[in-house]
């Protein structure tokens, strides 16, 4: 389960388990929407969880540093966050802007300049089958 692993990761990295952090961790648990900081803030505020914008950004940064989540750059307008830290790709539909996960990717590339790999992300942009129908 994501929540337990995220809490472990925070503890191991010496971070405290504060309320806003727990709310955000719970929000991200099982979330497949690749939410942005603003979406996380809005949704949790609707849910009567009160905290500031600075806290969302700080917490997301903390979770990335603790290795609990990944920051993805599919969207040119804002950073999005993914609780699924397994190596996988993303497909963005340019009509509906939904971000789909791409599992089971096979990638081969030259490592000429590369000394260390921190994270791999495959970005594909196009039209999803849902939008194509219309």
Partner DNA sequence: ATTAGTGCAAACACTTTGCACGGGT
Partner DNA sequence: ACCCGTGCAAAGTGTTTGCACTAAT
Contact code string over 58-87 relative to its own copies, x by CB under 8 A:
-------------x-xxxx--x--------
The reply on whether position 103 binds its own copies by CB under 8 A is yes
With contacts defined by CB under 8 A, name the span among 6-14, 17-25, 53-61, 121-129 that binds its own copies.
121-129
d(CA 20, CA 116) in angstroms, rounded, equals 33
86 Cβ contact list (under 8 Å, min separation 6): none
Residues making up the chain, counted from first to last: 134
d(CA 125, CA 102) in angstroms, rounded, equals 12
- Given its own copies, DNA, none, residue 50, with its beta carbon under 5 to 8 Å by kind, binds DNA
| Footprint of DNA (CB under 7 A) | 14-21, 36-38, 50-55, 57-59, 61-62, 76-79
d(CA 3, CA 115) in angstroms, rounded, equals 32
- Given DNA, its own copies, none, residue 96, with its beta carbon under 5 to 8 Å by kind, binds none
- Quote the tokens at residue 85: 């830290």
d(CA 131, CA 92) in angstroms, rounded, equals 12
Query: What are the residues binding its own copies (CB under 8 A)?
Result: 71, 73-76, 79, 89, 91, 93-94, 100, 102-110, 113-132
């Amino acid at each position: 389960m994501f929540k337990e692993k995220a809490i472990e990761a925070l503890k191991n990295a010496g971070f405290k388990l504060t309320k806003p952090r727990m709310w955000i961790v719970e929000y991200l648990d099982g979330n497949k929407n690749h939410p942005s900081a603003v979406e996380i803030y809005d949704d949790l505020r609707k849910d009567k969880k009160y905290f500031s914008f600075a806290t969302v950004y700080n917490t997301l940064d903390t979770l990335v540093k603790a290795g609990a989540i990944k920051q993805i750059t599919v969207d040119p307008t804002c950073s999005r966050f993914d609780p699924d830290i397994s190596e996988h790709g993303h497909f963005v539909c340019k009509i509906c802007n939904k971000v789909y996960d791409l599992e089971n990717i096979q990638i081969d590339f030259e490592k000429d300049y590369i000394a260390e790999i921190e994270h791999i992300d495959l970005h594909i942009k196009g039209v999803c089958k849902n939008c194509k129908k219309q």
